Amino acid sequence: MAATSDATRETMIINMGPQHPSTHGVLRLVLELDGEYVVSCRPVLGYLHTGIEKNTEYRTWQQGVTFVTRADYLSSLFNELAYCLAVERLLGIEAPPRAQVIRVMVNELNRIASHLVWIATTSLELGAVSMMLFGFRERENILAIFEMVTGLRMNHAYIRIGGLRMDLPDGAEERIKGFLRLMPGRIGEYESLLTGNPIWRQRNAGVGYLPTEELLALGVTGPVLRAGGLAHDLRKRAPYSGYETYEFDVPTREESDCFARYQVRMEEMRQSLRIVEQCLARLEPGPVMIEDPKLRWPAELSVGPDGIGNSERYVKHIMEESMEALINHFKIVTQGIKVPAGEVYQAVESPRGELGHYVVSNGGTRPYRTHIRGPSFVNLQAIPKMIEGGLIADVIACVASLDPVMGDADR
Amino acid sequence: MRPDELAKLLRGRYPEVLLARGEVTMAVPREELQATLEHLLKEGELGFDFLSDVTATDWPGAAPRFWVAYHLLSLRWMHRLRVKVGLAEDDPRLPSVTSLFPTANWHEREVFDFFGIVFEGHPDLRRIELPEGWVGHPLRKDHPMGGVNTSYRGAYIPPPDQRGL
């Protein structure tokens, strides 16, 4: 019977991805299989590498925002915030209070939208198709709010160096309040669909377990780490943009499996709603961009019937009233601002974990180097540890539980 | 620990400690990198037990040409530190820190991929973002940026670093 046992010991190599629908984008996993079991796994990245870091070196500081926002396209506002906070620290400036509150508000809405895409795609992959429709349905509400506020559904370039591109339009607060009324009940609905569902539990509970020490050694952050019992959230532990003044909890679980990660993300959506509510309550009238004419973006944008553009009042001002304003406009738009030489590392808590921007200036009008520490990139390192020795069906649940966005991993 | 306290504490032991914009930066020679990170990790008051990021910058014409930056975080004390290692143009090699911080694995592969810096002792130093057959290391400042020939009257779009912006 030697031949038979040899045959059963033979392993097979298969490629999962880069076009596999369950790999959350163009992630490729080279799996070595022994029957249904995964012997080894080698992740292959780079299919969505777009050279964002290199690109920023050949654009002005302000243009950098439009590049970094495209890295993690599901939570673009976090990239914008990290980049702008970094550049603002290099410049030694701070955005006005109203801008800070709106930044926090749109970031938390973005976190909910990102978690909604996560729950939608994850449940689709695990067979709960109706949940996919619900997740995208509610996300649509947030995208509509973003379209109203920033002019774009994704890749907003809304947060700018020194503040925001423009203030909230009329009716935006009402619309966000409407969303706050709608959403808590909807999260309850998702949980009633999933939490007690025997299939959902079987596919997630006890799957993808990694002890906290291993998560930390591999650099894993975000909901995955918090589902391992460590209440590490940069909004609480290294606050930025005034997060220390908001009341919210950091949900944690001890089990460190896919189910715990699901529970943490659901609770995080509730906490984000709490923060958005507090933001609305503390919105005071005021400027949303710094005043310094040598640094502020010299424009006054408004959303017209044909999209975003300079307001008529501003165009009239630079074209008819003030030659100095026109010169200043062209100087800052074409040449850009100068940023003092130096380097900073600014980390924010994105829906996926620690998103860090390492920005280096040599004193010029363009970034000398921008490096994005993408949490998806780092978290994906944990994939082999999670799935080796497990079943191939669990690979899907494990990858999904990390919530990788390949734009964030490959940049 | 506040950044100024951290800088003061480190200055007692390391010669090159810089405090700027609320961030502490420390330069060490590459021979001392591993011992330094190990000390920073194991010394209770410092406790830098989490490696956030590893990346590099390229300064052609300067000596040293490359700076590799390690961003450390202490999960207990929540203070951050940047450790930098300067590398000469003709010898861009330094020891890998994967044995201390397994998370450095992919970061070091990325730095190798983009800058051509070799991490000695790395378990699997291959390109990570670019295809295996790629020539050169594109985040170096002297990597050719290409230009585009167009079909419009022979017009040529120069590479971005030659557009005189």
DSSP output for A395-406? HHHHHHHH---H
Question: Do A217 and B82 make contact, defined as CB atoms within 8 angstroms?
Answer: no
- Cα B107 to Cα A182, A218, A294: the distances in Å are 42, 11, 37
| Spatial contact of B80 and B73, defined as CB atoms under 8 Å apart | yes
Task: State which amino acid sits at residue B41.
Answer: L
Question: Do B23 and A58 make contact, defined as CB atoms within 8 angstroms?
Answer: no
Is A29 inside a domain boundary?
A: no
Residue ranges of chain B whose pLDDT lies below 70 = 164-165
| Domain around A307 | 296-336
Rg, Å, chain B Cα set: 19
**Chain A neighbors of B138, CB-CB under 8 A:** 51, 54
DSSP A155-217: S---EETTEESSPPPTTHHHHHHHHHHHHHHHHHHHHHHHTT-HHHHHHHTTSS---HHHHHH
| Domain around B50 | 3-162
- Closest chain A residue to the Cα of B144, Cα to Cα: A54
The two tokens of residue A374 are 């993408």
pLDDT of residue A7: 55
pLDDT of residue A4: 46
Complex confidence, ipTM: 0.90
Is A31 inside a domain boundary?
A: no
Q: Which of B91, B99, B86 is nearest to B116 (CA)?
A: B91
Q: Which residues pair with A37 in a beta bridge?
A: A34, A391
Question: Do A345 and B23 make contact, defined as CB atoms within 8 angstroms?
Answer: yes
Rounded to the nearest 5°, which phi and psi values hold at B128? -120, -35
Is A256 inside a domain boundary?
A: yes
- Closest chain A residue to the Cα of B160, Cα to Cα: A58
Same domain? For A180 and A84 the reply is yes
Same domain? For A177 and A307 the reply is no
The two tokens of residue A67 are 């590049």
| Spatial contact of B58 and B115, defined as CB atoms under 8 Å apart | yes
| Torsion-angle region of A215 (φ positive above 0: left; ψ -120 to 50: alpha; else: beta) | alpha
**DSSP type of residue A339:** -
pLDDT of residue A98: 93
CA distance linking residue A160 with residue B13, whole number of Å: 40
CB under 8 A, 24+ apart: contacts of A167-174: A167/A98, A167/A102, A167/A288, A168/A102, A168/A283, A169/A303, A172/A145, A172/A148, A173/A280, A173/A283
Nearby residues of A291 by Cβ (< 8 Å), 6 or more positions away: none
Count of structural domains, chain B: 1
pLDDT of residue A16: 86
Same domain? For A326 and A182 the reply is no
Residue ranges of chain A whose pLDDT lies below 70 = 1-9, 21-23
| Spatial contact of B33 and B85, defined as CB atoms under 8 Å apart | yes
Chain A residues within 8 angstroms (CB to CB) of chain B = 45-46, 49, 51, 53-54, 58, 60, 89-90, 92, 216-219, 230, 232, 237-238, 342-345, 347, 354, 356, 358, 360, 366, 368-369, 371, 373, 377-378, 380-381, 410-411
3-state secondary structure (DSSP) of residue A353: strand
Query: A353: distance to nearest CA of chain B, Å?
Result: 11
Is A44 inside a domain boundary?
A: no
Count of structural domains, chain A: 2
Task: State which amino acid sits at residue B71.
Answer: H
pLDDT of residue A22: 66
Quick one: which H or E segment has residue A31?
strand A28-34
Is A107 inside a domain boundary?
A: yes
The two tokens of residue B140 are 């170096």
Order the strands of the B17-20 sheet from edge to edge: B17-20, B23-27, B80-87, B66-73, B50-58
Quick one: which H or E segment has residue A279?
helix A258-281
3-state secondary structure (DSSP) of residue A371: strand
Task: State which amino acid sits at residue A172.
Answer: A
Same domain? For A328 and A341 the reply is no
pLDDT of residue A335: 86
Same domain? For A281 and A404 the reply is yes
Is A356 inside a domain boundary?
A: yes
Nearest Cβ partner for B21 among A238, A342, A368: A342
Same domain? For A195 and A327 the reply is no
Is A27 inside a domain boundary?
A: no
Residue spans of alpha helices (H) in chain B: 3-11, 33-42, 104-115
Is A139 inside a domain boundary?
A: yes
Residue at a domain's end among A336, A364, A387:
A336
CA distance linking residue A245 with residue A370, whole number of Å: 30
CB under 8 A, 24+ apart: contacts of A139-148: A139/A113, A141/A179, A141/A182, A142/A109, A142/A110, A142/A112, A142/A113, A142/A116, A142/A179, A143/A113, A144/A175, A145/A109, A145/A172, A145/A175, A145/A176, A145/A179, A146/A106, A146/A109, A146/A110, A146/A113, A148/A172, A148/A175
Residue at a domain's end among A336, A368, A393:
A336
| Spatial contact of A396 and A17, defined as CB atoms under 8 Å apart | no
Task: State which amino acid sits at residue B82.
Answer: R
Q: Which residues pair with A41 in a beta bridge?
A: A31
Same domain? For A274 and A180 the reply is yes
**DSSP type of residue A243:** G
pLDDT of residue B73: 93
